[in-house]
Structures are given as structure tokens and as C-alpha cells.
A and B are shown apart, each in its own frame.
Chain A
């Protein structure tokens, strides 16, 4: 109370700050009540504004995520010759064991994988052991800030129009020429892709036009959208007869095992 008395002594008007305890208390109580009411009103308004903003943002986010996760790409895209269904991979051979390969042409692990297994898989396709389905993904484009995976996947589709052997050769050639990742820079030009086709015997205006015009862009988008439904959490991902292959293991052994299982 001494502090308050000190404050009152310093009052400029000279008159005592309190004329009777009762009156002052009532005045203070009324002042406080009024202030509390104003505060409450402000708080309520602010909370309503915030609640509405939160609701709008939530609806926007949920709407976007819902649409994105149900987006399967264009419904009726032009398909390369070796693709059997909308959004499907490129199918090689007609063997008894199904090998599904999910790759991104810019993925460095895929390059290693192709170095290890590329020719072996090609040989098994030729010998009629396996049906190889290659799904060319393009998620690395957003990471690397380019369009190279989409362009290569499209060119792979174009190569599939030329024939099974040409498409497999082109596929390996792209991996062979895959440069080190440089974010912000394209991994290859359209001319590079056209040229690599020429290297494996794919020539002519149809090829060049298909690569440069991205004839199969819609299909590439479908394949990209199909990856999350398949639960692809990295590339390369390989399924042997529907079973996810453990990348630490030996793929040739896994395929041999599947072949043996079918012969019994």
C-alpha cells in the first residue's frame, strides 16, 4: 500500500486520488468490468477469424492432396506399341516369370543396376524365360530441376514403337551415357536422345518427331502417377513374380528360384 500511496502523492491535481474508499472501488470495478468485456469481445472476434482461416486452409490442403492422390494422369493417352494398357509399363518378351522394373532414367542407382543386370535381363527376355516390364518414372525431375527424366521416358516409349530389341538397347544406352547429377541442369538434350537412338539403329523422321514432340507425354504422366499406388519407395525397384526383390540380394538367383518354382 505504501507504493500506491506514493503514486497518489505525486498526483498532479493536488487533490487526493481517492475520495472515499467505496466510490473509488466502484469506479475501478466498473472500469475493469468494461475493459474485460471489451477484451472478451476482441478475443472472440479474433478467434472466429482464426478458426475460419484454419478451416479454409485445411479445406484447401485436403482438397489438393485428395486430387493429387487420385490423379492418374490423362485418361486416354497415346500408348507406345509395347505398352498394353493405359499407364502400363513397356512389356518385353513372353516368359513365364514376370519381372517388373521401376526406374528413373536419371537415377544413379538405376545406372548401377543396369550395369549389373541389364544384359542378363535382356538375355533372359530373348531366351523366353521372363516377361520384363519396365516402368520409366520421372520423379527426379523436380529434385534436379530439369525435364530430363520425362524426355527420356518419352523417348523410351518412342523406341518401343521400333521394336523390342531397339527399345532395350536404347534403354541401356541412355543409362550408359547418364551423366553425374547436376541440379538445375538438364542431364541430356533432345538431340542427345535422338542421337542415342541412331546409335542403336533407330532412325527416321518418325523417331525424331516422336522424341522432340513428346508424343507419349501423356503416357509418361500416367506411369509417374502409377508409382505411388504400386508403393514404389525408391528406384530401382524390382518385383519378381509380384514379390519385391531385396536390392541387397542377387537378382539372377531370385529369377532362377522363381523359374524353378514354376517348373515343379
Chain B
């Protein structure tokens, strides 16, 4: 698979988004896990899933959000976690849009609460826009999963990607000043030198014997 390109500004943007999305998931999961029966009511209020499935989802969802939040906070398998988080946010968008389209009068139950509300008190547009922006954050992380302060990057080049891409871009290593020096080279051997050396290896044809 293609090498993953990264640059210093991208690393910072992705880091902020990763931790932000983790915060969203930990907050929403934490608020729901504190009131499990309310969470069940919130899911059932969408009237999308059969009653018993909605009950199961209502109990499982808060814990799932917490687990996903922890994975993103620590930067474990960032790309896979971001794919899952993006899918979750998209599902929320679909659910809220569907409730709106069917004229249901419910609280989204996004951060705790939820269930039926009196006619006219439902407020879907801000919720939709918010969930869409969370989905966009996740999408960015799927494309640019390299971040700072992540388990994925703590000296385990390429770890946590579950094979979704082959290796980290050398640029990222070089940007961090962690490029390897070939034997016999001293500290003055710069990242440009290493980049040129790698490029040369990539480019050179094996000579005929």
C-alpha cells in the first residue's frame, strides 16, 4: 500500500481532532452510562430498532462510546478507531434526520437524557449540524491518522494500524528528527541527507553483475 504522507501542521491538526473527538465520546458515553434506563428510552424513542434490540443497544452504546473514546484518547489504532467513530456519527445523523422527517418529538439523547419530549420542543437542526461536524472530524482522522502523543507513534512505527497501511511516511520520522543515521555518519548528517539517501535507494537500479 501507498505510503502515508504527513507533515508537521497536519500532525498537530490531527492531534487536536483526535483528542477532541475522544472528549466528545467520553463525555457522551459517560453521561449515558450514568443513567442506563434513560439511555434505553432514548434509543427506543427513535422507533427505528425493534423494542428488544433497542433495549440492547441502549445498554451497550454508552460503554461502546467510552471504549472508543479511550482508544482515540490514547491514539490506539487511530485510523480504525476514526473509521468506527465516523460510522457511529453518521448513524446518529441518519437517526436524527429520520426522527425529524417522521415528525417525532424526541430529545436526541446525545449527551444523556433523551426520550419523548412535548410537542414543539424537539430541536433537530443544531444536533444534526453538530453530529455532522463530529463525522467530519472523524473523516479527517481517517485520511490523516498520524498524530502526536499517540500509542501508534510511541516508537512502534506503523503499530496500531491493523494493516490498513504499510508504513509511516519517512517525512514524519524525519520531521521529528528521529531519522536513522547510517553507520559512520555523525550528528551533522541532516534529515535532508537521509531523505536523499532513501530517495537514492528507491531510485537506483540494481546494476548488472
Which A residues have a C-beta under 8 Å from some C-beta of B? 1, 3-4, 6-8, 10-13, 17, 22, 25, 27-29, 31-32, 35, 39, 42-43, 46-47, 50-51, 57, 60-62, 64-66, 68-69, 109, 139, 142-143, 224, 227-229, 231-234, 237, 247-248
- A13 touches which one: B57, B184, B193 (CB < 8 A)? B184
Contact of B196 among A4, A39, A64, A142 (CB under 8 A): A4
Contacts of A227 in B (CB 8 A): 37, 41
Q: Which residue of A lies closest to B57 (CB)?
A: A65
- Interface of A, secondary structure class, is helix
Instruction: Report yes or no: B159 in contact with A46, Cβ–Cβ below 8 A.
Output: yes
Of all chain A residues, which has the CB nearest B163?
A: A47
Q: Is the CB of B52 within 8 A of A69?
A: yes
Q: A47-B162, A229-B52, A234-B117 are in contact. Are A62 and B156 (CB under 8 A)?
A: no
CB distance from B33 to the nearest CB of A (A): 10
Taking Cβ atoms with an 8 Å cutoff, the residues of B that contact A are: 34-38, 40-42, 44-45, 51-52, 54-60, 63-64, 67, 76-77, 106, 112-113, 115-119, 156-163, 167, 180, 182-186, 188-190, 192-193, 196-197, 200-201, 204, 207
Known: A11-B184, A69-B56. A50 touches B37 (CB 8 A): no
How far apart are the CA atoms of A1 and B34 in the complex, in Å? Answer: 62
Q: In the bound complex, what is the Cα–Cα distance between A1 and B52 (angstroms)? A: 68
Is A231's CB under 8 angstroms from B160's CB?
no
**Contact across chains for A43 and B38 when beta carbons are under 8 A apart:** no
The total number of A-B Cβ pairs within 8 Å is: 139
* Chain A neighbourhood of B56, CB < 8 A: 65-66, 69
> Which of A46, A61, A224 meets B64, CB within 8 Å?
A61
Beta-carbon contact of B77 and A11 below 8 Å? no
The contact sample of 15 A-B pairs, CB cut-off 8 A, is A3-B196, A10-B189, A12-B186, A25-B204, A50-B77, A64-B60, A65-B60, A65-B63, A68-B59, A69-B40, A139-B41, A142-B38, A233-B42, A233-B116, A247-B119
CA A22 – CA B204 in complex, angstroms? 11
- B50 CB to closest chain A CB (Å) equals 10
Residue from A8, A51, A231 with most neighbouring chain B CB atoms (10 Å): A231
Contacts of A27 on B, CB cut-off 8 Å?
183
CB contact under 8 A between A228 and B58, given known A39-B167, A69-B52: yes
CB distance from B95 to the nearest CB of A (A): 14
Task: Kindly state the separation between the CA atoms of A81 and B203 in the bound complex, as whole angstroms.
Answer: 88
Q: How far is the CB of A70 from chain B (nearest CB, A)?
A: 9
Q: Contacts A1-B196, A7-B185 hold; do A233 and B106 have CB atoms under 8 A apart?
A: yes
Among B55, B67, B158, B197, contact of A228 (Cβ-Cβ < 8 Å) = B55
Report the Cα distance A12→B196, complex, angstroms.
20
With the chains together, A215 CA to B189 CA distance in Å? 80
Residues of A within 8 A of B59 (CB): 64-65, 68-69
Determine the chain A residues whose CB is within 8 A of the CB of B183 once the complex forms. 27
Q: Which residues of B contact A46 (CB under 8 A)?
A: 156, 159-160
Chain B hits for A6, CB < 8 A: 193
- Chain A residues near B189: list those with CB within 8 A: 7, 10
* Inter-subunit contact A17/B184 (CB<8 Å): yes
B35 CB contact (under 8 Å) in A12, A65, A142: A142
- Judging by beta carbons under 8 Å apart, are B37 and A61 in contact? no
Say whether A42 contacts B182, CB under 8 Å.
no
Q: List 4 extra interface pairs beyond A17-B182, A61-B64, A229-B55, CB under 8 A.
A: A42-B158, A61-B60, A61-B63, A142-B35
In the bound complex, CA of A12 to CA of B186 (Å): 7
